[in-house]
Chains A and B, each alone.
Chain A
């Protein structure tokens, strides 16, 4: 078992190295190792370092987003004891979207003056969704998570409708472009500020996960058993929801909504290393980061120069998988 884990670890590390290498080598300026070699040997031409920095920030943003979303997915699934839970499905992303759109349309000047205003607004929006979802997860704790999932989906539609309303009402203002671009979701405009915030969030959510990994294992046994074994369920639940809202909100503020990563990745990780939360929580951020970074890389390679909005790509992969999981889950219950 140990050597198998080591093998998986090495494979993921190798994969990440390859993806990083290709992400830095592919682009519309010049595809190949030239830029990278010039930079390493300190012989970059003017502009080349800037281009490399563009590629690096885009790649890191994709990686960190994938990592955080995967961990958030694991949290949601443990909380609801349902493999279909994910921050996007539960409405955290569209809540963040509404928060960001409100800021962009109503307080455009604030948003463009203070760089932290947008992540903060998105966090607040995320909480709008996390709080009712958390409440439902307590009230319907023993119903397999479906009432909670449906609550999340309904809220997600509601927030998307509100965002649509904002676009309609303010469709003529300066901020329109910002809103529309934001709603599509993209890594093309990743900045180093965004990358540093995403890095803090990814580390925060992963470390917290590792800290409570034992309790998460026990949560899977059901609320009564968890109570019996002395797991402070309410506190963990609250902490998890707040950390997820904070993470998803502030990252979504920079990238726009990216869906279904939190669904696909935890599932694959569990199939590789089993249901132990400690192992999945170590593997998932790297695996999820690599997955999203390679999605973005493929996206740029297939549709050069800048690719499609990434949310479209992840939905194309994620939604069929969601339906597959849903039907499998249903079959198991019958």
Chain B
């Protein structure tokens, strides 16, 4: 038995009397990372949103966290560690879980480096350190390689169109901002101090993006937008046929696959660059 004290992203001290073996991951990106570092044998429950990999839902108990968190189901699983992200849970629910004597580790994701940092943290917590460090190192390397390759390329204006009604794009505080920048583009939402701000059609015309990315679960977003505002048909991205469908999870869920999204994005923006990655 080893007793470990760790400090989570909310600054709270967490005492783990032994290596956790009954872990509850209540955020889809954390579940994904646990599988990526080979820690799934220690998982015992996931939330209904944890749909990748698919076996996460079949091999673990699935817990409802929305619209209300099923506290009873969580406690009856008798977990020895609960992993959550700060943005998915209200502080009262986290407080209640802590009061019931279960260690709750809160993770925060605000920039790309938080992903690799938290992969290393998970490796320590779940005793899968070697694999976690290897994964995190290789993901960090993808970042630095891409940054190096794209730094002298033309920075095309890019829009990530989340939704068409209301018109929402990725803003300054989203991960996508950082991804577009690394991939050698310029996010047109970079001046908007939010994650996913609402914008007007005029804004799109003024910024005139060279590329418009639409998430796969909302492919028709741009064509619907054009049918409402026909003028948008003359945006550069539309004229150049640069309306590109991307897989939503690769851009909207901070996890290992975010870096696949980064590689894909780089290939989209700069087809001429050769990258040492096969995707």
Known A112-B91, A178-B91: A189·B70 in contact at CB below 8 Å: no
Interface of A (DSSP majority class): loop
Q: Is A51 an interface residue, CB under 8 A from the partner? A: yes
Q: Is A305 an interface residue, CB under 8 A from the partner? A: yes
Known A29-B76, A30-B76, A189-B96: A171·B194 in contact at CB below 8 Å: yes
Q: Which of A206-214, A269-277, A306-314 interfaces with chain B?
A: A306-314
Interface 0/1 of A7-48, CB less than 8 Å to B: 000000000000000000001111000000000000000110
* B194 with A172: CB separation less than 8 A: yes
* A172 with B195: CB separation less than 8 A: yes
B194's closest neighbor in chain A, by CB? Answer: A172
* A191 with B86: CB separation less than 8 A: no
* B90 with A174: CB separation less than 8 A: no
Interface 0/1 of B172-193, CB less than 8 Å to A: 0100000000000000000000
* A46 with B95: CB separation less than 8 A: no
Q: Is B89 an interface residue, CB under 8 A from the partner? A: yes
Known A174-B86, A306-B70: A50·B100 in contact at CB below 8 Å: yes
* A306 with B69: CB separation less than 8 A: yes
* B75 with A54: CB separation less than 8 A: yes
Q: Which residues of A contact B95 (CB under 8 A)?
A: 189, 191
Q: Is B88 an interface residue, CB under 8 A from the partner? A: yes
Interface 0/1 of B83-127, CB less than 8 Å to A: 000111111110110011100000000000000000000000000
Known A174-B86, A189-B92: A46·B78 in contact at CB below 8 Å: yes
Q: Which residues of B contact A305 (CB under 8 A)?
A: 64, 68, 70, 72-73
* A29 with B73: CB separation less than 8 A: yes
Q: Which residues of A contact B64 (CB under 8 A)?
A: 305-306
Q: Which residues of A contact B78 (CB under 8 A)?
A: 46-47
Q: Is B272 an interface residue, CB under 8 A from the partner? A: no
* B68 with A177: CB separation less than 8 A: no
* B87 with A50: CB separation less than 8 A: no
* A50 with B194: CB separation less than 8 A: no
Closest beta carbon of chain A to B115's beta carbon, Å: 19
B contact residues, total (Cβ < 8 Å)? 27
Q: Is A268 an interface residue, CB under 8 A from the partner? A: no
Q: Is B276 an interface residue, CB under 8 A from the partner? A: no
* B92 with A28: CB separation less than 8 A: no
Q: Is B230 an interface residue, CB under 8 A from the partner? A: no
Closest beta carbon of chain B to A318's beta carbon, Å: 20
* B90 with A181: CB separation less than 8 A: yes
A308 to B95 Cα, complex, angstroms: 21
A26's closest neighbor in chain B, by CB? Answer: B72
Closest beta carbon of chain A to B17's beta carbon, Å: 14
Q: Within the complex, which residue of B68, B88, B96, B194 is in contact with A307, where a contact is CB–CB below 8 Å?
A: B68
A188 to B73 Cα, complex, angstroms: 13
* A177 with B88: CB separation less than 8 A: yes
Q: Which residues of B contact A55 (CB under 8 A)?
A: 72
* A172 with B173: CB separation less than 8 A: yes
Q: Which residues of B contact A27 (CB under 8 A)?
A: 72
Interface of B (DSSP majority class): loop
* A306 with B68: CB separation less than 8 A: yes
* A50 with B93: CB separation less than 8 A: no
Q: Within the complex, which residue of B70, B88, B91 is in contact with A28, where a contact is CB–CB below 8 Å?
A: B70
* A188 with B68: CB separation less than 8 A: yes
Closest beta carbon of chain B to A296's beta carbon, Å: 11
Q: Is B71 an interface residue, CB under 8 A from the partner? A: yes
* A178 with B90: CB separation less than 8 A: yes
Q: Which residues of B contact A163 (CB under 8 A)?
A: none
Q: Is A186 an interface residue, CB under 8 A from the partner? A: yes
* A189 with B93: CB separation less than 8 A: yes
A174 to B89 Cα, complex, angstroms: 10
* B96 with A51: CB separation less than 8 A: no
Closest beta carbon of chain A to B170's beta carbon, Å: 13
Closest beta carbon of chain B to A223's beta carbon, Å: 44
* B72 with A308: CB separation less than 8 A: no
Closest beta carbon of chain A to B104's beta carbon, Å: 14
Known A171-B194, A172-B195: A54·B72 in contact at CB below 8 Å: yes
Closest beta carbon of chain B to A52's beta carbon, Å: 10
Known A172-B195, A188-B69, A306-B68: A50·B101 in contact at CB below 8 Å: yes
Closest beta carbon of chain A to B258's beta carbon, Å: 19
Q: Which of B183-231 contact A (CB under 8 A)?
A: 194-195
Q: Which residues of B contact A186 (CB under 8 A)?
A: 68
* A188 with B71: CB separation less than 8 A: yes
A252 to B195 Cα, complex, angstroms: 31
* B89 with A191: CB separation less than 8 A: no
A178 to B91 Cα, complex, angstroms: 7
Closest beta carbon of chain B to A29's beta carbon, Å: 4
A306 to B68 Cα, complex, angstroms: 6
* A29 with B194: CB separation less than 8 A: no
9 closest A-B pairs by CB = A306-B68, A189-B92, A29-B76, A305-B70, A181-B90, A29-B72, A27-B72, A28-B72, A188-B68
Offer 22 A-B interface pairs, CB within 8 angstroms, sorted by A.
Answer: A28-B76, A29-B73, A30-B76, A47-B78, A54-B71, A54-B75, A54-B96, A55-B72, A112-B91, A172-B173, A172-B195, A174-B86, A174-B87, A177-B88, A177-B89, A177-B91, A178-B92, A181-B92, A189-B92, A191-B92, A191-B95, A305-B64
With contacts A186-B68, A189-B90 known, what are 6 further pairs, Cβ within 8 A?
Answer: A47-B75, A174-B86, A305-B73, A306-B64, A306-B71, A308-B67
